[in-house]
Chain A
């Protein structure tokens, strides 16, 4: 395609048309070719008198003068007084320090019509004359054709349709044999994505050209000029006479001259491709080079006149503008769908206790509507998988790696080239896209795409863009001659993630972060409220105790007064008064238990290393009377270990369990065993040979005021002991449970710390 490049001056021997080959063509100083193409005439003038300094060799014939005469004349002698006056006027008012500007139309000797373009460089004025077409008729046609073309382009529904129509339209209007839309890929290579061609030609559609076919400097050049035209690949260069610019004493700089003779590398490349003439239109997307529309004639040269080129340039602008919106429209429907799914997911997240359930447990999930094989949610060290994914362990390791690499939103279509372990799961995740939920954790959501075993159809072998030929002793490099289909399969890659997809998951990320933050705020508010209500409960418990006890005390006391004052009352009434007093005593005990239970939650526990044996000894001592009364043997087979706990709480726990064990026993020989098991956490137990507990009451024994026996049996009790015990252990992060065989005994187990995870 286009191999012509221009780079900064090299410090080595300058590379010009005289010594260029493919090894150095990226350094070829193409601006010093010293010749032009035959469809133009070039004049170099000195201002302000417009004296001729240099001219292309074909100027003499065009103007009907000898070269010597021409080189001693001036603009007026060549163009006539009227044209020269007009030219001067334009020169005075136009900015000419860049690309050539159309200055006037010119009839030379009433035979040939030319367009005259001018620009200034190195202190001289360069005029380029290009043969004009039958402009008057064409302009009108072009205008209506353009208008029609644009309205048809606007009506297309997808980018593919749009591009197909664009190449068709351009072929219609320029008459080229072949018109292709060529899209640049990230690595500099390019695909032919649409093509319109004359019947019988070999299609290039779907072919890929290696990056070396259009080197970076050339691509940069494309973004600077909209239309480039080569009418005849086999042209004979017309030299500029004299070769040296008399003003600079150096070669004439033809950087901006559009009729400049081109690099032989470029023309050879086109010849090898079988092209006779080309026209290249640049397509930009959002200001960046997107691709080219490349026109070729295979059968004969064709000179596209200035007017048509202007129309092509205009069309290039329009395509660039419209394409942007077409590409967006292509994604519009799916984008809407995804946005709607995100909205629903946001609602699920708000509704669910755990936001992750909102992401994965409903329809739509984070995978629905996404073009991905699987997805994973990684949060709090846990992995949830949807669809086809690597294993949970692989996902965790991947997430840990991503956390060290990536920004908040990221993607790759060739994961294993960045993260070699991914080679093992490329069938599920050759490509990955992700969003990170927090900066300093590996919490993230990943979407996976499977490996795509693509076949790339190269236009010729991409490894061999040049061919070596020998002519005698001289080895010469030239652009490859063969553009035969070269198939290559590409592994380890997935389909590419598109920018709208990254935008979409970015939106999801924002909504997750919002929900999670809001959730955290709610939790901290709840905690504050809970703390406040705990404080209130504490003082409430005391107030309630006080306020309940006062009337209770009154009832009890006045019943007592009645009993002692009226000894003559009948025994039945005496009995009733006694019952009233007993009831108030029981209510007093219940209030005390409730008070105690509510206080367990308020206690500021002190976790210190505690020798449990000392505590146990003290408990046995305080319950001695009871133990002795019941003739209960206490067995401690081995000393208890040290434990980190609140000594007062643990004392209360042991006291409760030992008292219960002693209390609920109907055997003639009673015993209690206190010991522990070396587990994580250490599990303590209090075992007895008592009455046991029916398993169906397993949970009820821990319920406050729930009694399993008649009040007078087994010494009574308020029914809050085990409830208070359990709450104390829970405050330690531990738990309590039991094994029991009714009639044979029970073993209560407890731990003083959380379970190992």
Chain B
């Protein structure tokens, strides 16, 4: 089934500037899904927990995960999401500044759906996000539940 409009897009990223840009681009692109910003590992862990209790509403349409976070590393959050009851099948897309092959390898092995390098250039970033949203919101069939 295709993503429901009530399903949020979750952005895990400690950079408020990046999130602001992403939010701007998604709005510009006309994405109507609610956006959830988790700025830290702790916030993410709370979210993972509460999703189990269904306190955070519908399951995410997809998660944008930044690898380089303070205190915890993105991989660990990825694994934790994959281990949770609800997060086993949620699309998790890695957004990272560098394309270190080791990171790509490791994320893919830990169950990431895809790996993107954040372009420095604004226009390229916009183009990339447009493709992601088209793909995951309009075309891809996602499992309804875990």
Contact = CB atoms under 8 A, between A and B. Distances in A.
Contacts of A560: 122-123, 126
B119 to A, nearest CB: 8
A31 to B, nearest CB: 95
A588 B120 contact: yes
Interface string B95-119: 0011010000000000000000011
Interface stretch (B16-24, B33-41, B136-144): B16-24
Contacts of B17: 550, 554, 557-558
A561 B122 contact: yes
A554 B24 CA distance: 13
Contacts, number: 52
B122 A556 contact: yes
Interface string A52-86: 00000000000000000000000000000000000
Given A542-B100, A554-B17, A557-B21, A549 B68 contact: no
A581 B122 contact: yes
Interface in B2-53: 15, 17-18, 21, 24
Contacts of B100: 542
A228 to B, nearest CB: 92
A89 interface: no
B89 interface: no
A552 B21 CA distance: 13
B125 interface: yes
A556 B121 contact: yes
A552 B122 CA distance: 10
Contact of B121 (A545, A561, A588, A595): A588
A553 interface: yes
Interface residues of B, number: 17
Interface in A518-562: 542, 545-546, 549-550, 552-554, 556-561
A559 B122 contact: yes
B97 A554 contact: no
Nearest to A555: B120
Contacts of B98: 542, 545-546, 549, 595
Contacts of B122: 556-557, 559-561, 581
Among A546, A584, A595, the most chain B Cβ lie within 10 Å of the Cβ of A546
Given A542-B100, A561-B24, A553 B68 contact: no
A553 B126 CA distance: 12
A581 B97 contact: no
Contacts of B68: 546
B120 A584 contact: yes
A546 B97 CA distance: 5
Contact of A552 (B15, B24, B120, B123): B120
Contacts of A542: 98, 100
Contacts of B15: 550, 554
Contacts of A552: 120
Nearest to A541: B98
Contact of B120 (A549, A561, A595): A549
A550 B119 CA distance: 10
Given A546-B68, A546-B97, A553 B118 contact: yes
Residues of A contacting B: mostly: helix
Given A546-B97, A546-B98, A561-B24, A554 B121 contact: no
A343 interface: no
A59 B100 CA distance: 117
Contacts of B21: 553-554, 557-558, 561
A585 B125 CA distance: 13
Given A545-B98, A553-B18, A581 B24 contact: no
Contacts of B119: 553
B29 to A, nearest CB: 13
Contacts of B118: 549, 553
Interface string A210-231: 0000000000000000000000
Among B15, B98, B125, the most chain A Cβ lie within 10 Å of the Cβ of B98
Contacts of B125: 553, 557
A542 B67 CA distance: 13
Contacts of A550: 15, 17-18, 97
Nearest to B122: A560
Among A549, A550, A557, the most chain B Cβ lie within 10 Å of the Cβ of A557
B120 A545 contact: no
Nearest to B118: A553
Interface in A553-576: 553-554, 556-561
A558 B121 CA distance: 10
B121 A581 contact: yes
A556 B97 contact: no
A554 B123 contact: no
Interface in A669-698: none
A595 to B, nearest CB: 8
Contacts of B97: 545-546, 549-550, 553
A554 B98 CA distance: 15
Contacts of A549: 97-98, 118, 120
Among B15, B100, B120, B123, the most chain A Cβ lie within 10 Å of the Cβ of B120
A595 B118 CA distance: 16
A553 B24 contact: no
A583 to B, nearest CB: 11
Contacts of B120: 549, 552-553, 556, 584-585, 588
Interface in B49-107: 68, 97-98, 100
A588 to B, nearest CB: 4
Contacts of A557: 17, 21, 122, 125
Interface in A234-273: none
Nearest to A564: B28
A553 B24 CA distance: 14
A8 to B, nearest CB: 86
A557 B23 CA distance: 12
A702 B17 CA distance: 38
Contacts of A581: 121-122
Contacts of A556: 120-122
B112 to A, nearest CB: 18
A617 B10 CA distance: 46
Interface in A724-749: none
Nearest to A551: B17
Nearest to A552: B120
Contacts of A554: 15, 17-18, 21
Contacts of A559: 122
A534 to B, nearest CB: 16
Contacts of A546: 68, 97-98
A546 B119 CA distance: 11
23 contacts: A545-B97, A546-B97, A546-B98, A549-B118, A550-B15, A550-B17, A552-B120, A553-B18, A553-B97, A553-B119, A553-B120, A554-B18, A556-B121, A556-B122, A557-B21, A557-B122, A558-B17, A561-B21, A561-B24, A581-B121, A585-B120, A588-B120, A588-B121
Give 10 closest A-B pairs by Cβ, nearest first: A560-B122, A588-B120, A546-B97, A554-B17, A557-B21, A557-B122, A553-B120, A549-B97, A556-B122, A552-B120
Interface of B: 15, 17-18, 21, 24, 68, 97-98, 100, 118-123, 125-126
Given A553-B125, A560-B123, A584-B120, 11 more contacts: A542-B100, A546-B68, A549-B97, A554-B15, A554-B18, A554-B21, A557-B122, A558-B21, A561-B21, A561-B122, A588-B121
